Chains A and B, each alone.
Chain A
Amino acid sequence: MFQRFELMYNEQVMRGDPSEKAQFEYAWCLVRSKYVEDMKHGVALLEDLFKKASDDDSRRDYLYYLAVGYTRIKEYPDALKYAKALLKIEPGNVQGIQLKNYINDKMKKEGILGMAIVGGAALAIGGLVGLGVALSKK
């Protein structure tokens, strides 16, 4: 399946502008990969999708998968930021709440909270660009 989505996406990139659907499906596959490089690539594609998203529904979906992606690459502060941004759009979203709790749990368990805040300053430049754009539109 991975290859099918990769192929579809790459073909569309070659031809010009890839469709939102192809990009999302490929990004989703990458985020689920077992390789960190794939996950990072997936997150980058999702950030791009998020920037281009035209409605709250899709924005919400991309925020969710961005939070999942950052959780998988263990960049929890960013993951948390995206989960919170999702909950800002839809405060009662059960999936969002569960994900946020999961991230908080992970942060506590892995005890990297302090470290991550230091590292987070650098990461935030990359991670927050998308979010900043979205929030400034509101």
Chain B
Amino acid sequence: MAAGPYNYSYIFKYIIIGDMGVGKSCLLHQFTEKKFMADCPHTIGVEFGTRIIEVSGQKIKLQIWDTAGQERFRAVTRSYYRGAAGALMVYDITRRSTYNHLSSWLTDARNLTNPNTVIFLIGNKSDLEAQRDVTYEEAKQFADENGKSIFRLSGENVEDAFLDTAKKIYQNIQDGSLDLNAAESGVQHKPATPRGPISTDQAPQKEGCSC
């Protein structure tokens, strides 16, 4: 919330999507607060978190919108997809239904984000190997067919999922495939010399109306 000089050079917008109860909010809290929450209540609409990371020596601020998985909020959460640079699409490896729904999540993400949005597939709860309901190979094939990267995720490598997505976005910026001037790239480049506090953080509770 500091209005002082920027201590990061880019802002990337992320969304986390997927069925209810796959652990999206737990991922967010673990990443932004380094707190493991065994049991997160269902998200109401959307939740917001940020963290500054470093990729190739560049400080990047991740603005993460964690969406509710409940059908009730679908219209609400869809309005947050626009302008996302990264999307973490999460399923629960112990519940096949959450995997089966991935194609509809992917369709939503494709329709509502831009072609450069980096989508990572995340198989959460990989620590519950005994209850596994979806094999890694199967999910890998789904990811390959759809040109996505896949992640085996458990408590330990939450960081990597967020970092690898950022690396991929940064790479897209470097090789010019992601145009920073495009209206909905999901990336903001911060000038080295701050211009004052006008365009710093927006309060997460009071997001602008995109209706």
Interface size class of A (residues with CB under 8 A): 20 to 34
What residue in chain A is nearest B210 (Cβ atoms)? A1
8 A-B contacts, Cβ less than 8 Å apart? A21-B75, A24-B72, A28-B45, A32-B207, A64-B45, A94-B29, A94-B47, A99-B205
Give B50-78 as 1s and 0s: 1 = Cβ < 8 Å from A's Cβ atoms.
00000000000000000000001101100
Asked if B41 is an interface residue, CB under 8 A from chain A, the answer is yes
CA distance A58 to B205 in the complex (A): 20
Which chain A residues border B41 with CB–CB below 8 Å? 90, 92-94
CA distance A111 to B76 in the complex (A): 33
What residue in chain A is nearest B205 (Cβ atoms)? A102
Q: A32 contacts which of B43, B44, B211 (Cβ < 8 Å)?
A: B211
A binding-site residues for B, Cβ under 8 Å: 1-2, 5, 21, 24-25, 28-29, 32-34, 57-58, 60-61, 64-65, 68, 71-72, 90, 92-95, 98-99, 102
B211 touches A21 (CB 8 A): no
Q: Which of B42, B44, B47 has the most CB of A within 10 A?
A: B44
What residue in chain A is nearest B73 (Cβ atoms)? A61
Q: A1 contacts which of B42, B43, B72, B79 (Cβ < 8 Å)?
A: B79
B72 touches A5 (CB 8 A): no
B72 touches A58 (CB 8 A): yes
B211 touches A5 (CB 8 A): yes
B binding-site residues for A, Cβ under 8 Å: 29, 40-45, 47, 72-73, 75-76, 79, 205-207, 209-211
Which chain B residues border A65 with CB–CB below 8 Å? 44-45
B47 touches A57 (CB 8 A): no
Task: Report if A61-B75 is in contact (Cβ < 8 Å); known contacts: A29-B211, A33-B209, A68-B205.
Answer: no
CA distance A78 to B117 in the complex (A): 40
* For the complex of A and B, 6 pairs with smallest distance between CB atoms: A2-B211, A1-B211, A32-B209, A29-B211, A64-B44, A25-B75
CA distance A32 to B29 in the complex (A): 25
Which chain B residues border A71 with CB–CB below 8 Å? 205
B17 CB to closest chain A CB (Å) equals 18
CA distance A93 to B37 in the complex (A): 12
What residue in chain B is nearest A31 (Cβ atoms)? B209
CA distance A5 to B72 in the complex (A): 14
Task: Report if A95-B211 is in contact (Cβ < 8 Å); known contacts: A61-B72, A68-B205.
Answer: no
Which chain B residues border A99 with CB–CB below 8 Å? 205
Q: Which of B29, B73, B207 has the most CB of A within 10 A?
A: B73
CA distance A25 to B42 in the complex (A): 18
CA distance A29 to B45 in the complex (A): 12
What residue in chain A is nearest B40 (Cβ atoms)? A94
CA distance A2 to B44 in the complex (A): 20
